[in-house]
């Protein structure tokens, strides 16, 4: 990935397991496991269950984040998977969640984030990498 700082996948999962979508513990485990499956380094996570139903949460990874919002009443989950650098594969996280949420169908959009023109050098997404490259 020499022309972008990161990859952002916007995923929509439809006709998912309703019980999973309304269980904050399971959702948190699935998002953390998806991050690990992708090769990410987990920093922290936070999840919240809404009344009467639904879960929102995020996993902060050293390489960016994963977030989710669920609507169990519709069997639907909206997920963002944003990874920086080229050591993490966000599509592995997407596939892991597709199976974990037991979705019937899905849609995705992939965006390259931070498409910068840096002449004569590869983009680095960590500040220490930039300092080293400048020397």
Query: Which residue is associated with the tokens 């519709």?
Result: 74
| Of 8, 16, 45, 84, catalytic | 84
Q: Is 84 a catalytic residue?
A: yes
Q: Is 16 a catalytic residue?
A: no
| Of 16, 64, 65, 100, catalytic | 64
Which residues are CB-contacts of 9 (< 8 A; sequence separation ≥ 6)?
79, 80, 81, 82, 90, 91, 93, 94, 108, 109, 110, 111
DSSP 35-87: HHHHT--EEEEEEEE-SSS-EEEEEEETTEEEEEEEEGGGTEEEEEEEEESSS
Q: Is 69 a catalytic residue?
A: yes
Positions marked active-site = 64, 69, 84
């Amino acid at each position: 990935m020499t022309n972008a700082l990161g990859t952002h996948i916007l995923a929509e999962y439809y006709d998912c397991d309703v019980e999973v979508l309304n269980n904050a513990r399971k959702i948190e485990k699935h998002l953390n496991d998806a991050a690990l499956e992708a090769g990410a380094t987990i920093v922290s996570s936070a999840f919240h269950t809404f009344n009467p139903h639904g879960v929102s949460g995020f996993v902060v990874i050293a390489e960016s984040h994963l977030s989710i919002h669920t609507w169990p009443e519709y069997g639907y989950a909206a997920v963002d998977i944003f990874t920086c650098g080229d050591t993490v594969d966000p599509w592995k996280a997407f596939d892991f969640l597709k199976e974990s949420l037991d979705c019937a169908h899905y849609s995705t959009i992939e965006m390259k984030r931070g498409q910068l023109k840096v002449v004569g050098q590869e983009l680095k997404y960590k500040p220490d990498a930039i300092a080293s490259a400048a020397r």
